[in-house]
Amino acid sequence: MSISRRGFIGSAIAASVASGLNERGLNAQDKANSDAPASGQPFGTGKRPIIICANNGVNYLDGAFSFLKNGGDTLDAAIRVVKGPEDDPNDDSVGLGGLPNEEGVVELDACCMHGPTRRAGSVGGVRNIKNVSLVSKAVMEHTGHVMLVGEGAERFAVAMGFPRENLLTERSRKIWLLWKETNSTHDWWGPGLADPHWTPPSTPPQAALWKERIHRLEEHAARLGIEPEWRMVAIRRVLSPPTGTIHCSALNDKGEMSGVTTTSGLAFKLPGRCGDSPIIGAGCYTDQDVGSAGATGSGEENIKIAGAHTIIENMRHGMSPLEAGMDALKRIARNYNNDMNKLKFLDMTYYILRKDGAYAGVSLWEGYSDKPHKIAVHDGTRRSEVTVALFKGASHEFPPFPVNMPKELTQDSVYVK
Ligand code: ASP
């Protein structure tokens, strides 16, 4: 699932709700959104076997579900789902074709947990190896360690028989080059949103200046040979570097479960940056006694609340999957003292599965009205369901775009594949 660097462009509704929240405080809004939809039962209440994943895995659920139903291992089933986007050169958020770091090098992160044997494996900052979900499983099975990073992880993968290959597709390389050549003064160096002295950027340039800037970017993209139909996508990526990840959790009819998360992480990140995806307890956590959960979204925020682990512990202490996830989202809000001027630039989605098959998908923001955040599910029927959001509307672009941005850049198709 590809999302912007810190969320989506804000809609008018988001802006108005956000300011409303400032006045009213979070509680009323939390309650309103926690209770939606009206049935109070937004998700399934317990069917096994079942697989849940980020919506970019929906096309890979059928095969994985048959495998699971026929007795396949839960981790192998989950990896069958995430391997699809890892292998897909057109998914620029995971594996082959993932958007690179600021030096133009693709660095991948992944982790997995196998419930029945209570084992875990993880790799961070891996170059040249496409299927890092499988490498994380190899760390779990073939080493006495849990986490390998960087060059050591790559060398381990090669020793395990994984082929080295160039992960930078031509399209991703050209998008990176467009970013490098036009936007290199707006990078990840310097204090971030979490810095106590951070202040919102000054008023964005007038729309007319943006139009001119985008026109120049389009010309530049054409000169770099980016296909016409990809130019606005590329410009969007350059102006607001996206994140993107896939998580999958699987539960069989015996109650065994596993989880896996894999990503190319934040586009144009500093080399060596690891997000939440390879962090056991943040990007993924499975406890055979309780459930399995994973995350996509603003990795730095999720690490700070150990999101997946927090959700599992919440369920262990009696919360439903939905309540457990909403509590984790509120912890992210709390970390910013519920300051909507900052929270509007973040986004986070959790995918939550309990041992009895009950599940939930929750998000900090709803996303666009015609492109809301979704969780994909297969429990005999494959479907995508809209997540329950803590805040109404969509999070904002960072740095902010002017309100009357050119239409081509505010179409959903430009943002999310
Ligand atoms: N959480 C991932 C990261 O921060 C990105 C994402 O989920 O979109 O690397």
Q: Is the dihedral of CA 4, 6, 11, 17 positive or negative?
A: positive
Per DSSP (E only), the strands in 193-256 are 243-251
pTM of the predicted structure, to 2 decimals = 0.84
276 lines ligand 1 (CB under 6 A): yes
**How do residues 27-59 score in pLDDT, each as one tens digit?**
333 333 433 333 345 676 678 999 999 999 999
Beta bridge partners of 287: 291
**How do residues 188-201 score in pLDDT, each as one tens digit?**
666 777 888 776 65
Q: Which residue, judged by its Cα, is nearest atom 1 of ligand 1?
A: 299
Q: Give residue 119 CA to ligand 1 midpoint distance, Å.
A: 23
Question: In whole angstroms, how large is the CA radius of gyration of the chain?
Answer: 20
Separation between Cα atoms, residue 65 and residue 47, nearest integer Å: 13
Among 390, 50, 392, 411, residue whose Cα is nearest residue 248: 50
Q: Give residue 212 CA to ligand 1 midpoint distance, Å.
A: 31
Separation between Cα atoms, residue 295 and residue 275, nearest integer Å: 11
85 lines ligand 1 (CB under 6 A): no
Reported as a pLDDT band with limits 50, 70 and 90, residue 17 is: very low
**How do residues 137-153 score in pLDDT, each as one tens digit?**
999 999 999 999 999 99
Q: Give residue 106 CA to ligand 1 midpoint distance, Å.
A: 14
Choose which residue among 92, 122, 264, 276 to substitute to test ligand 1 binding: the one with the highest number of ligand atoms within 8 A of its C-beta: 276
> In whole numbers, what is the pLDDT of the chain averaged over residues?
84
**How do residues 281-332 score in pLDDT, each as one tens digit?**
999 999 999 999 999 999 999 999 999 999 999 999 999 999 999 999 999 9
At residue 39, the pLDDT reads 36
Answer with the residue of higher pLDDT: 7 or 181: 181
At residue 397, the pLDDT reads 66
Q: Which residue, judged by its Cα, is nearest atom 9 of ligand 1?
A: 265
Q: Which residue, judged by its Cα, is nearest atom 7 of ligand 1?
A: 296
3-state secondary structure of 90: coil
Kind of pairing between the strands at 119-126 and 147-149: parallel
**How do residues 223-266 score in pLDDT, each as one tens digit?**
889 999 889 888 888 887 777 799 999 999 999 999 999 999 99
241 lines ligand 1 (CB under 6 A): no
Q: For residue 372, is pLDDT > 80?
A: yes
At residue 209, the pLDDT reads 76
Separation between Cα atoms, residue 328 and residue 331, nearest integer Å: 5
The residues annotated as belonging to the active site are 245
Q: Give residue 23 CA to ligand 1 midpoint distance, Å.
A: 31
As given in the structure block, the two tokens for residue 273 are 């940056």
**How do residues 80-98 score in pLDDT, each as one tens digit?**
999 999 999 988 889 999 9
